[in-house]
Structures are given as structure tokens and as C-alpha cells.
Amino acid sequence: MFHKEGHKIIFISLLIVVGLFFLIDGLVSIEWLRKTLLIVVLIFFILILQFFRNPKRHTHANEQHAISPVDGKVVVIEEVFEKEVFNEKRIQVSVFMSPLNVHVTRYPISGKVSYSKYHPGKYLVAWHPKASEENERTTVVVENSSFGRILYRQIAGALAKRIVNYAKQDMQVYQGEDSGFIKFGSRVDLFLPLNANIKVELNQKVRGGESIIAEMS
């Protein structure tokens, strides 16, 4: 199954691939070169399909858990001062996505969206220390009775040129549901209460909609 954000790109890529197949087959007479070019074009199309895949995830909804919003690797776990919304210290957990990861963003908790804002910006590599404040990004806050308010931030990377965010203020959202998409390499930051019990470690691989990032007792 493919994400709806990729339908147009997949269709256009398919037309290009078919056209290139006919072009290469008609113009390239050297057998080994023709086969090589056809394989390269096919690999390109397979990579496009892989990037926009949207596998079904089995979310076990739990009010006491905050789950990973994306697939990837945990690259940051630290106490920081969050100044866009909270103006107080929070625990930041960041998950980096390579172009090969699933790039669907999912809601980490169920609750009400109390803040949703898009910020234009730069396209620094996603692991850059200033990417969270200077890159193109969206900030979303979801609140419920267990965690209070949780902030997650979709951050564009050097390759990502478009962030899609479905969260709108006052929406009622559900843990694990599709909340957006980031195209071509990026990262997501989670800002959790200081008393949250972090359940992941640095460099741990996580799955969006399934892996537990934090727990409230």
C-alpha cells in the first residue's frame, strides 16, 4: 500500500520509466549498455515505490504511552528548553529518518490538537544541531489527561522539500493515526514532560505507531 502523498509522483514516475524503456530499447544498440540502463531506470522506480510505502501498523492504544511518530533511529535524548510553545524545560527525543525509512508521521498520543504551525526555513542536514530551529518545519501540540501537552516537530532535511501536516487546531486525534508525511529524508522531535519515563535509548531503531517512546506512571 502506498501513501496518498505519493500517488501523483508514482504515476508521473511510471510514465517517465515507460518512456525511458522505449527510448533506451530503440536507441541503444549495445546489448550490455542497454540492459544496464534499463536496470538503472527500474531501480530508480523501485526506490520511488519504497519511499512512499505505507505499511499497516498495529497500534496498541494506551493513554499512558507516547509512541514513536515515525520509523527511524533515535539520535537525541536530552533535557532542553523548548521556547516556541512551552517556554520551559522538556525532554527531547529525536528520531532521524533515512530516505529508506517509511516517512509517514503518526500521532504519538490521542487527544486534542491545541497548536499547529508551519515554519518556512532552511534545508540543513536533519541531524544538524540547528535543524530543529532553522529548517523548514511544522510544530504540533496534542494534549490529553495523562501527558498534559506533547509537542512533536516535523523537520525537513537536506533532501526533504515538502512537509505535509494534517493536524489542525481543535481536532480530536487518535494515537497511531496518520498525521502527515515528510518527503525525502528528515527527522521528528518529540518534547515530553520532565517526569515522563523514557523507554528508548540512543541509536535504537523505532517503528512509527508501535514503538513506545515514553510512559507516564
Quick check: is 98 in a domain?
A: yes
What pLDDT score was predicted for residue 124?
65
Domain extent, residue 19, equals 4-51
- The answer on 200 and 103 residing in a single domain is yes
Task: Kindly state the DSSP code that residue 60 receives in the 8-state scheme.
Answer: -
What pLDDT score was predicted for residue 76?
93
- The answer on 116 and 11 residing in a single domain is no
- The answer on 69 and 46 residing in a single domain is no
Quick check: is 58 in a domain?
A: no
Give the closest residue to 190 by CA, choosing from 106, 102, 95: 95
Quick check: is 173 in a domain?
A: yes
Write down the pTM of the prediction.
0.84
What pLDDT score was predicted for residue 158?
62
Quick check: is 57 in a domain?
A: no
From 114, 186, 211, 217, active-site residue: 186
How many structural domains does the chain have?
Answer: 2
- The answer on 34 and 11 residing in a single domain is yes
Give the closest residue to 140 by CA, choosing from 92, 104, 188, 182: 188
- The answer on 89 and 189 residing in a single domain is yes
Strand order of the β-sheet with 111-119 is 172-173, 111-119, 137-144, 148-156, 186-192, 88-97, 72-82, 205-206
- The answer on 176 and 90 residing in a single domain is yes
What pLDDT score was predicted for residue 166?
95
Quick check: is 39 in a domain?
A: yes
- The answer on 32 and 139 residing in a single domain is no
- The answer on 71 and 43 residing in a single domain is no
- The answer on 172 and 106 residing in a single domain is yes
What pLDDT score was predicted for residue 62?
94
- The answer on 91 and 36 residing in a single domain is no
Tens of pLDDT, residue by residue, the chain (217 residues): 777 887 888 899 999 999 998 888 888 888 888 889 989 999 988 888 877 888 888 899 999 999 999 999 999 999 999 999 999 999 999 999 887 888 899 999 999 999 999 988 776 665 556 666 667 889 999 999 999 999 999 988 766 557 889 999 999 999 999 999 887 668 899 999 999 999 999 999 999 999 999 999 7
Domain CATH number, residue 151: 2.70.70
| Residue 186 annotated among the catalytic residues of the structure | yes
Provide Rg for the chain, Cα atoms.
Answer: 20
Q: Which residue has the cell 498525521?
A: 179
C-alpha cell at 102: 517509511
